[in-house]
Chain A
């Protein structure tokens, strides 16, 4: 996007209207930079060409680290004072598996949270930029990038596609 570009945000009543509007706007050659919605939508994500989420990798790596950490902790602590208790072997693999399992889940969840922080982009102190507060409640907001010369035709296009609110403009 060049430096004299502006962002216009149009608000829509429901997902079907929003999806149709996104397709029309893209067909006219404008770039839909973002859609804000009150619920998740796979069809909107596809229309915007979003790539598959990578959060699963964070979770998987967290889980693997957790499994080995849990096992290692149990083995390490048992071998520090190798006293046989109740006739059980010092390295009791089955009980240690329980510890490893719990650590797997714990670290996988922590990996998942790390994924949310990095991939979802939270916390986001600049969330208000181009964001209309009505989008959290019931409306859908389409952000479209345009050059200043094409702004009027974009405004007309947003009106034509059913945008029900005066568009916000953000440079």
Chain B
């Protein structure tokens, strides 16, 4: 880090914006085709009806809402890194903050698609919005589903504005080193930023306030998502631990996704001098911490079920561990709580390959966590005659794969067209170190 100068930071980051090669466009095309495939599956569902998905009595919340919660969770880490760690003055966040914020914006967009897909008749989505109408019908603001609409829309707006505000000084750098059409585009995007003292002073204050506002927001949003479940009476959902449990899980999965994205990004874009092994190690240590919280939450859920002496709760948790979805449950437990403990070994957390592989396991584990909570609880609730199983169909699988392709497609477009490491924050960091 000590050999970095303002100029080397500029050069390293701006070099990543050079004209991409054929391999890049091949991957982009492949991901685009994957996204189109997902969109086609959705179109098929719209034409034929939501019955083409595997959701049926008693499991009416399936893969779509599992993916919704998964992507909202992924989105949370961006704000953790950019806002919460900013407030704590954790300098290791600076090299990865931009990539994490971008991940947040794209992940919220993708998360926001899933309730639309789940809705079936997507053209009726405006019913969820408080629009004046002839019948004086309004959304029910007592419902956690409407909390969710408000919370996710707020989160998307706030995270997009936070991301763009953070980009402004970097956009000016690109503007000042470009020619022709590119210069014109960045002239508009940078809004005439010129780094005047007065601009910096107000900007820094605004950025701090953004971080201060985003911090309670990020906690509230996943709490609200958890209340979609916890405010019902379904065994396995109706518990007060859900809000902190979901927030911890969201940060756990988001940090794992940051590692999954940062490691190839660092190698391909030659960011080794900026995203150092110390940065990756710090993420790994935080994943150990969040993994322990998540593990503690799993244990507390089981304890609450046992201590309550509520036979239905006890049956639900027994069935989770040893019933039809036991493999999914144990994948969740092992991937989220046991495997991340390997990061306690310095040899593992200081090598990119094990770091990367473990981050993939956590991603998989967190997806299964949502599966176990959402599908597992309604599949086996109060009455044995109402029990049933759920398996996703190819339509749901296609949409899910399409969503992943869309996410990586957007992220790859971003890394070659906008600065994926914040030059300004890196300069501030080395200036403080000096």
Are B157 and A56 interface neighbours, CB within 8 A? no
Is chain A's binding surface mostly helix, strand, loop or mixed? Answer: helix
Q: Is A80 an interface residue (CB 8 A)?
A: yes
User: Given A120-B202, A124-B192, does the pair A99, B147 have CB atoms closer than 8 Å?
Assistant: yes
Q: Is B3 an interface residue (CB 8 A)?
A: no
Q: Is B395 an interface residue (CB 8 A)?
A: no
- What are the residues of chain B within 8 A of A80 when measuring CB–CB? 136, 138
- What are the residues of chain A within 8 A of B78 when measuring CB–CB? none
Select which of B137, B168, B192, B205 is within 8 A of A125 by beta carbon.
Answer: B192
Are A59 and B204 interface neighbours, CB within 8 A? no
Are A38 and B6 interface neighbours, CB within 8 A? yes
| Interface range for A | 35 or more
Closest to A75 in B: B141
A112 to B212, CA, bound (A): 11
- What are the residues of chain B within 8 A of A151 when measuring CB–CB? none
Within the complex, what minimum Cβ distance (angstroms) separates A151 from chain B? 22
A40 to B428, CA, bound (A): 8
User: Given A56-B205, A81-B136, A92-B142, does the pair A48, B224 have CB atoms closer than 8 Å?
Assistant: no
Among B148-169, those with CB < 8 Å from A are 150-151, 154, 157-158, 161-162, 165, 168-169
Is chain B's binding surface mostly helix, strand, loop or mixed? Answer: helix
Within the complex, what minimum Cβ distance (angstroms) separates B151 from chain A? 5
Are A38 and B195 interface neighbours, CB within 8 A? yes
Select which of B173, B197, B220 is within 8 A of A48 by beta carbon.
Answer: B197
Are A40 and B158 interface neighbours, CB within 8 A? no
- What are the residues of chain A within 8 A of B216 when measuring CB–CB? 105
Select which of B7, B173, B193, B202 is within 8 A of A115 by beta carbon.
Answer: B202
- What are the residues of chain A within 8 A of B161 when measuring CB–CB? 109, 113
- What are the residues of chain A within 8 A of B140 when measuring CB–CB? 85
Are A59 and B200 interface neighbours, CB within 8 A? no
User: Given A102-B154, A122-B191, does the pair A116, B138 have CB atoms closer than 8 Å?
Assistant: no
Are A77 and B141 interface neighbours, CB within 8 A? yes
Q: Is B393 an interface residue (CB 8 A)?
A: no
- What are the residues of chain B within 8 A of A78 when measuring CB–CB? 138, 141-142
Interface size on B, residues (CB 8 A): 57
Contact with B along A81-99 (1 / 0, CB 8 A): 1000110100010011011
Closest to B11 in A: A137
User: Given A39-B424, A74-B141, does the pair A116, B197 have CB atoms closer than 8 Å?
Assistant: no
Are B431 and A59 interface neighbours, CB within 8 A? no
Are B136 and A137 interface neighbours, CB within 8 A? no
Closest to A22 in B: B197
Q: Is A65 an interface residue (CB 8 A)?
A: no
Q: Is A121 an interface residue (CB 8 A)?
A: yes
Contact with A along B193-231 (1 / 0, CB 8 A): 111111111111110011001001100100010000000
Select which of B175, B193, B205, B210 is within 8 A of A122 by beta carbon.
Answer: B193
- What are the residues of chain A within 8 A of B7 when measuring CB–CB? 137-138
Within the complex, what minimum Cβ distance (angstroms) separates A94 from chain B? 9
- Apart from A40-B204, A77-B141, A98-B150, 19 more pairs, CB < 8 Å: A36-B196, A37-B195, A38-B427, A48-B197, A53-B201, A73-B141, A78-B142, A86-B142, A99-B146, A105-B220, A106-B157, A119-B206, A123-B192, A127-B192, A128-B194, A136-B169, A137-B6, A137-B10, A138-B5
Residues of B within 8 A of A (CB): 5-7, 10, 130, 136-143, 146-147, 150-151, 154, 157-158, 161-162, 165, 168-169, 172-173, 175-177, 191-206, 209-210, 213, 216-217, 220, 224, 424, 427-428, 431
Residues of A within 8 A of B (CB): 15, 34-42, 44-45, 48, 50, 53, 55-56, 59, 70, 73-74, 77-78, 80-81, 85-86, 88, 92, 95-96, 98-99, 101-103, 105-106, 108-109, 112-113, 115-116, 119-128, 131, 133-138
